[in-house]
């Protein structure tokens, strides 16, 4: 009697790390750094090469404008043809643009050429964060057991936010280290190298295959007029204030340090704000439930305001570093709270739109503030520009007050499991809407 031995069926991975592969996460994390380095890097480079804080601020604004205008188009292209080819092309163009910026800034070409290359740097920047989210959500929906999906989605979105926050915190630090130890052009060259290596690796990773949309079913959406309610617009105003805050702080800090002969270290000092920001942002899940979102926004934005008051009166590097450290404790939880409120208040089927509104408001605020603060610093002085972050923080506090007084009573309707699934599918199938 013969016995037939059958090989046991290969067990499917039941964790996202098992599905995506362990190498995916470090690749996707490091691939975020060039984007996080480009605004600070171009500002430091242009100020050093052209000796003009106004041109540096304007160039940073142009970089942000390029990203805000063209980023959604890159996402739309990925919706049609998949992420791989879009990321490969944009990565190559971005690497060349970064190298061109390092060369053009020190050349005899007019300032218009510097601005043109700056726009290309922003326009070609690969949108790693949104693309990574869409990939991981697709993997969760299609590869993991249904019982694990909800928990995996929550954990993944938390990780992605922490990864973005960490990259944007330490990106300026890397810029400062490279600029002070090597040359002002080193951050651009380093960002180009990281783009070629890690953005290309991200594009070629097997998970890129799951990013092509497979469903043609439309998502049920609430009327567009619900996007114009006070409950939504007040959060967008808060995001605009955050963008203004980032732009005014970075540009005024660069102006002050340039006058004292330490302009290349702006990224390092700016990174001090990121230490507390990252720690508090990662720890926000430990806050008690009684510490409501509207209260968090008020408390931490008020801390930002107090820190910027100290920033304005500080006349020494020690005082500025202390003010930046306190500001970091306020800005991290404020940003996380704004996005939590945005997710909570998004109309049915419109969460992607609301997130885009916040992202665009932040980019527009940062770009406009960089240009305006640079002009103030050059025409009036760096000390005058150092009071501008106080106004930006004041806008965040004002929006928090309006939110607490006029918006917190109307609690949103509870979201059903089917609605959550619809929103998740929308995120996975339409990454362009999240850029």
Alpha carbons 411 and 391: distance in angstroms, whole number: 30
State the pLDDT at residue 217.
Answer: 47
- Six-digit token pair at 245? 């805050």
State the pLDDT at residue 433.
Answer: 44
- Cα distance between the two ends of the chain: 65
pLDDT tens digits, one per residue of 396-432: 999 999 998 887 644 444 444 444 455 555 544 444 4
Contact 238, 399 (CB under 8 A): yes
State the pLDDT at residue 353.
Answer: 61
Alpha carbons 218 and 183: distance in angstroms, whole number: 52
State the pLDDT at residue 414.
Answer: 40
Domains of the chain, by residue range, sit at 20-213+222-434
Q: Which residues of the chain have pLDDT under 50?
A: 1-9, 216-219, 409-420, 427-435
pTM beyond 0.85: no
Fold of 20-213+222-434: Growth Hormone; Chain: A; (1.20.1250)
State the pLDDT at residue 370.
Answer: 80
Phi and psi torsions of 8, nearest 5°? -65, 140
State the pLDDT at residue 196.
Answer: 94
* Burial degree of 215 (CB within 10 A; 0-12, 13-18, 19+): exposed
Contact 241, 399 (CB under 8 A): yes
Count Cα neighbours of 323 within 13 Å in the Cβ-side half-sphere.
Answer: 22
State the pLDDT at residue 275.
Answer: 79
State the pLDDT at residue 8.
Answer: 47
State the pLDDT at residue 119.
Answer: 93
Place of tokens 């990773």: 205
């Amino acid at each position: 009697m013969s016995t037939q031995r059958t090989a046991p069926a290969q067990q499917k991975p039941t964790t996202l790390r098992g599905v995506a592969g362990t190498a995916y996460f470090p690749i996707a994390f490091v691939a975020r750094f060039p984007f996080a380095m480009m605004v600070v890097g171009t500002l430091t480079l242009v100020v050093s090469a052209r000796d003009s804080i106004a041109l540096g601020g304007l160039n940073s604004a142009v970089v942000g404008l390029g990203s805000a205008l063209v980023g959604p188009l890159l996402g739309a292209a990925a919706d049609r043809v998949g992420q791989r080819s879009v990321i490969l092309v944009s990565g190559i163009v971005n690497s060349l643009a970064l190298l061109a910026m390092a060369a053009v800034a020190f050349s005899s070409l007019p300032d218009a050429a510097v601005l043109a290359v700056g726009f290309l740097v922003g326009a070609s920047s690969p949108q790693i964060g949104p693309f990574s989210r869409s990939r991981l959500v697709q993997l969760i929906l299609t590869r993991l057991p249904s019982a694990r999906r909800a928990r995996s989605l929550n954990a993944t979105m938390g990780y992605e936010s922490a990864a973005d926050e960490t990259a944007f915190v330490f990106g300026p630090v890397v810029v400062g280290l490279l600029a002070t130890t090597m040359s002002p052009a080193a951050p651009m060259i380093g960002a180009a190298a990281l783009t070629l290596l890690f953005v290309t690796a991200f594009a070629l990773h097997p998970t890129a295959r799951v990013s092509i949309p497979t469903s043609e079913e439309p998502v049920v959406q609430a009327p567009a007029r619900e996007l114009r309610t006070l409950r939504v617009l007040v959060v967008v105003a808060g995001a605009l204030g955050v963008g203004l805050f980032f732009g005014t702080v970075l540009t005024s800090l660069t102006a002050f340090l340039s006058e004292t002969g330490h302009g290349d270290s702006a990224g390092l000092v700016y990174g001090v704000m990121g230490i507390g920001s990252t720690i508090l942002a990662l720890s926000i899940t430990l806050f008690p439930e009684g510490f409501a979102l509207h209260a968090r926004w008020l408390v931490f934005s008020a801390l930002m305001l107090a820190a910027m008051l100290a920033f304005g009166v500080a006349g020494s590097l020690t005082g500025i570093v202390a003010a930046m450290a306190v500001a970091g404790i306020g800005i991290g939880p404020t940003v996380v709270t704004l996005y939590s409120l945005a997710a909570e208040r998004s109309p049915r089927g419109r969460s992607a739109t609301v997130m885009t509104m916040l992202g665009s408001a932040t980019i527009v605020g940062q770009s406009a503030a960089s240009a305006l603060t640079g002009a103030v610093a050059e025409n009036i002085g760096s000390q005058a520009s150092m009071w501008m972050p106080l106004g930006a923080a004041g806008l965040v506090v004002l929006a928090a007050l309006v939110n607490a007084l006029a918006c917190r009573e109307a609690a949103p309707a509870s979201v059903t499991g089917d609605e959550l699934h619809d929103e998740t599918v929308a995120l996975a199938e339409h990454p362009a809407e999240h850029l």
